[in-house]
Structure 1
Amino acid sequence: MTSSIATYIALPGTTAEAMEHWHEVLGGELEVIRYGDMDLQGMPFAPDPQSVAHATLTLPGGVISGGDAMDDGNDYPLTGTAYSLLYTAEGPEEARTLFQKFLDAGGTVGMPLEQAPWGGWYGTVFDRFGVMWAFSADSAEED
């Protein structure tokens, strides 16, 4: 197996719903493994069998992985830029389409998708889970 790197996001019990939503918007192949699907003998703790141990959304341009965060008493705010993903679209039209899909599904605009000072297109949307999606596209399609 060759080395690789993927985004990994630990969500507070919403990983399955978030991954299914991202799969619906972006396509790709989704695999979700719950703790109840595994042999947990010997584990030092007993997680909820419905919690997501590991999920992977494989897209043509990359991989998003994640799991449900263990309740460790930490408060990790999602809405912000700590959890953010950059999607480089093939062009402004694809970026607009995906941006709008996130908005239609309960997201909010962080920065409108507009032509940027560097000539390309850029904007951000926070999905309904609080994760920031930045969209970028070259301006070759529309000048």
Structure 2
Amino acid sequence: MAASLASYIALPGTTGEAMEHWHDVFGGELQIMRYGDVPPMEGMPFTPDPQAVAHATLVLPGGTIAGGDAMEDGNDYNVRGSAYSLLYTTDTADEARGLIAKLVDGGGEVGMPFERAPWGGWYGQVFDRFGVMWSFSTDND
């Protein structure tokens, strides 16, 4: 297998719902494995909910998003307002506008309007209903 790089995100019990939503928005190939689908693992430091997502992947044109449900370990990870986003580069501005509209229609909100950028391309941001910031970019009209 060739080397590859994927974004990995752990959401607070909503990874399955988020992955299904992103699959509806972006298409691609989705696989979700829940803890109840795998045999018990020796040495596991916690007892996971059988419905919690152990691992999920969404393979999109141009990349992969992977993730799982965050376990209750006392850490409170902030999804929205953290210093990251998922950058999705499209072939055209209209394609980006369509994806942004689907995320907004699915309960998200625009963080930065999709407009001409100082470097000459197009750029904008939207927060989906899970608090994940999606940045969209294209060099083409």
Is the TM value for this pair above 0.5?
A: yes
Q: Deviation at 1:83? A: 4.2
Distance 2:83 2:69 in 1: 17
Secondary structure (helix, strand or coil) at the match of 2:33 reads strand
TM-score scaled by structure 1?
Answer: 0.94
1:103 aligns with 104
- Structure 2: 5+ residue stretches without partners: none
Deviations 1:76-120 (A, max 9, x none): 111124341000010100010001111111101110000111110
1:51 aligns with 52
Quickly say closer, same or farther: Cα 1:41–1:62, change in 2 above 3 A: closer
Quickly say closer, same or farther: Cα 1:81–1:136, change in 2 above 3 A: farther
2:19 aligns with 19
What's the Cα RMSD here?
Answer: 1.0
TM-score scaled by structure 2?
Answer: 0.95
Q: How many residues align?
A: 140
Which amino acid letter does the alignment assign opposite residue 2 of structure 1? A
Describe how 1:109-124 pairs up with structure 2 within 5 A: 109-124=110-125
Percentage of identical aligned residues: 69
Secondary structure (helix, strand or coil) at the match of 1:10 reads strand
Q: Deviation at 1:64? A: 0.2
2:81 aligns with 80
Which amino acid letter does the alignment assign opposite residue 108 of structure 1? E
Which amino acid letter does the alignment assign opposite residue 106 of structure 2? A
